[in-house]
Amino acid sequence: MAETDELFNIKEASRWATERLGKTVTPSNIAYLIQYGRVRKIGSMVSKQELLDYYKSYNGHRELSWQKQLGSDLNWALSFDQYKEAETTKHVHRLHPYKGKFIPQLVEYFLDGHTDRFKREACFKRGDIVLDPFAGSGTTLVQACEIGMHAIGIDVSAFNALISNCKVAKYSLVDVVTESNRITMAFKEFLYDSHTIEFEEKLTQALSEFNNKYFPVPDYKYNVKRGQINEDVYGAEKEKEFLPIFYRLVRDYNIKLRQDKADMFLDKWYLQNVRDEIQFVSEEIKKIENPDTKNIISIIMSRTIRSCRSTTHADLATLIEPVTAAYYCAKHGKVCKPLFSILKWWQTYTKDTLKRLWQFDSLRTQTHQLCLTGDSRTIDIIEEIQKKNQLFSELAKKQKIRGMFSSPPYVGLIDYHQQHAYAYELFGLERKDDFEIGPLCKGQSSQAKQNYIKDITDVLNNCKRFLAQDYDIFLVANDKYNMYQSIAENAGMQIVNIYKRPVLNRTEKDKGAYSETIFHLKKK
């Protein structure tokens, strides 16, 4: 640090960064930078110069850099860079993790463009019906409900449809609270005679003492960031040093690390006592009489067990190999442990879900939203809605669907059923992997691309039967193989507008320049 460098306390740094970036930077954001070694804490202060170095990617630098890499047609306004993470995952949008979803602001921009925030020529108006034939986790349905539009979703994945419908369902929150409290009390009684809680407490205490000594916060990460510590060598050395402590506690408390079999996902990726807890809570959920309450508490359970898989924190989204012992965690910069009980996450997610449902309840409009489970290439939309909601089906027949906003799967990128394999096993849902369009397992060969073009074309041809004559279709895609011109032509449509947007902060492992394209299609 230069002798003339100005120093800020955390509140001053927050105000300075907010003014410089033109977006809210909270004291918690500054504390995060300190904790993860982005900037150094000097006493109770931080260096203005280090903040400048960290934020140099903002105020035009990152925009110019990305345009140089991705093209001058990049529409930076569609990056929604001004929004905090809490705003892009607001209320029910974060009820359950889901790979590949778009942010709600993108939906709002195109569906409700006449708002003060997004003044543009709007194709849709309140009261219209919008269709998302690749509903995923239901972002389009949720935003339609908030805006004041009706929405229909379709997804071949039964679990995706469950997530979507849970987000837009209207609940008796009293019943949700009552049932979740009942299950939590029963769960704690189940754990009363278990050694698991005491074991975790002793292990956590041992880890805390060890990490405070060898991985002091924030000095350790700061030194790693600046190359003063070889993280791979040092982390492996300290992991090896802690393992005897870990295995001694395992023996003392008679903890069984692995299940006797590994035939199914729930066998392979969960420690034995965690699996026992999952089974207990699942049986309690089955006792719930109200189907809406049962569904939302099932989503809480699914979110809980996703966070409790036996893997490293860094590999939670990808899953490489099961981890059953303490390990050096590159994400947190210390020795971490697998989870031996789901209780903490069950309670955390229960509280968080109730808060998000309450937040959304105050924003929702009196409109219809429904996600159908089915194949968008062949489904009879009106017929299937009629089975679920007679009033909505009559409205759709009379009014017609105004258009579509959707993000089709990207060719060879994600296996959508597999990312929630634990939920399919736990809830006994039928998997239809063979009906996925462009799955990762089929790759990105020439044949896979041809199949993809045909499948997306089939979806458009089937769905347009239910659309108004002057429909508008918006498809969010990463069209690096230039397939969407052929898709539009094959479906008797024309691309009338193309919007290329930068996609920021996708994952911690992938911060490189990346864009996606929104195609606006109309009848030819």
Q: Do 311 and 302 contact (CB within 8 A), yes or no? A: no
Q: Which two tokens stand for residue 383?
A: 């017929």
Half-sphere exposure of 96 (CA within 13 A, CB side): 29
**C-alpha span between 199 and 249 (Å, rounded):** 7
Question: For the chain, percent helix, then strand, then coil, each to nearest 5?
Answer: 50, 15, 35
> Across the chain, which distance is largest between two alpha carbons, in Å?
74
**Residue 471, H or E segment:** strand 467-477
DSSP SS3 for 37: coil
Q: pLDDT in tens for each of the 524 residues of the chain?
A: 444 578 888 888 889 888 887 778 888 888 878 877 778 888 888 888 888 888 775 555 677 778 788 887 888 888 888 788 888 899 999 999 998 888 999 999 999 866 656 556 678 999 999 999 999 999 999 999 999 999 999 999 999 999 999 999 999 999 999 999 999 999 999 998 788 888 989 999 999 999 999 999 888 988 998 899 999 999 999 999 999 999 999 999 998 888 888 889 999 999 998 999 999 999 999 999 999 999 999 999 999 999 998 888 877 767 778 889 999 998 899 999 998 999 999 999 999 999 999 999 999 999 999 999 999 999 999 999 999 999 999 999 999 999 999 999 999 988 899 999 999 999 999 999 999 999 999 999 999 999 999 999 999 999 999 999 999 999 999 898 999 999 999 999 999 999 999 887 655 445 678 889 999 999 99
pTM greater than the 0.95 cutoff:
no
Give residue 119's pLDDT.
59
Q: Which two tokens stand for residue 211?
A: 């990490």
Classify residue 403 as exposed, middle or buried by CB count within 10 Å of its CB (0-12, 13-18, 19+). buried
Residue 374 backbone phi and psi in degrees, to 5: 175, 180
What angle separates helix 158-168 from helix 291-307, to the nearest 10 degrees?
A: 120
Q: Is the dihedral of CA 458, 518, 469, 383 positive or negative?
A: positive
Give residue 212's pLDDT.
95
Sheet holding 369-373, edge to edge: 369-373, 150-155, 129-132, 401-406, 467-477, 515-523, 493-502
Q: Can you point out the beta strands (E) in 220-368? A: 327-329, 334-336
**C-alpha span between 369 and 244 (Å, rounded):** 55
Tell me the pLDDT tens digit for each residue of 153-201: 999 999 999 999 999 999 999 999 999 999 999 999 999 878 888 898 9
DSSP 515: E
Give residue 511's pLDDT.
62
**C-alpha span between 62 and 411 (Å, rounded):** 28
Residue 419 backbone phi and psi in degrees, to 5: -65, -20
Give residue 59's pLDDT.
54
SS3 assignment for 406-458 = ECCCCCCCCCCCHHHHHHHHHHCCCCCHHHCCCCHHHCCCHHHHHHHHHHHHH
Region of residue 6 (phi > 0: left; psi between -120 and 50: alpha; otherwise: beta): beta
DSSP SS3 for 152: strand
Q: Which two tokens stand for residue 105?
A: 């602001």
Number of Cβ atoms within 10 Å of the Cβ of 240: 10
Give residue 517's pLDDT.
94
